[in-house]
Structure 1
Amino acid sequence: MILQEVDNVLWELIAILREVDDVLWELIAILREVDDVLWELIAILREVDDVLWELIAILWEVDDVLWELFVILWEVDAVLWELIAILWEVDDVLWELLTQ
């Protein structure tokens, strides 16, 4: 009688453990799907990283061009100030001629 009860309890325990085993296999399947999604995400992020590095390279080139343009504009500004100084001198000479 006691052995029969022990046997029944063991069979119930086995049934419970089988259910736990089933749940664990389902969990493993879900985790494998999550793993697949994460690897896909990593692949996408690597592509995004590549694009961002290309963008950085382009922006560095733009920065170089803008710097060269700034240097040219600085030189043009200096020439314009020299031209303004010359025109002031011409204005002074013309004023002297007009006031004589």
Structure 2
Amino acid sequence: MRKALLTVLNTVALVAVASVAFAADGGVATASVWASAIGMAIAAAGCGLGQGMGLKAACEGTARNPEASGKITVTLILGLAFVESLAIYALVVNLILLFVKPFA
């Protein structure tokens, strides 16, 4: 229930931020900058939490079974790369919204 509530609240917040980013009135530049900053902050926070949880699980797994540290390390590095790519995608989308303005 808690995850569903957080997912719904997150979706509502992102939709609200997107509408500010795509506004076409006089304050577009300022609204677009703020919306982009908030969007990147959310993406960075989510990726940071994901990376921290992955690192925590890898450390616990290595502590429980030191012989499996090689496999755990490879899986950890792959997982961290995938999570970091999400932050990079968010950055690219924010830069497109700031400089290209496809909806203006």
Give your verdict on TM over 0.5. no
Provide the TM-score with structure 2 as the length reference.
0.36
Structure having the higher helix fraction is: 1
Bigger relative contact order, structure 1 or 2 (CA pairs below 8 A, ≥6 apart) = 2
Provide the TM-score with structure 1 as the length reference.
0.37
Q: Which of the two has higher C-alpha Rg?
A: 1
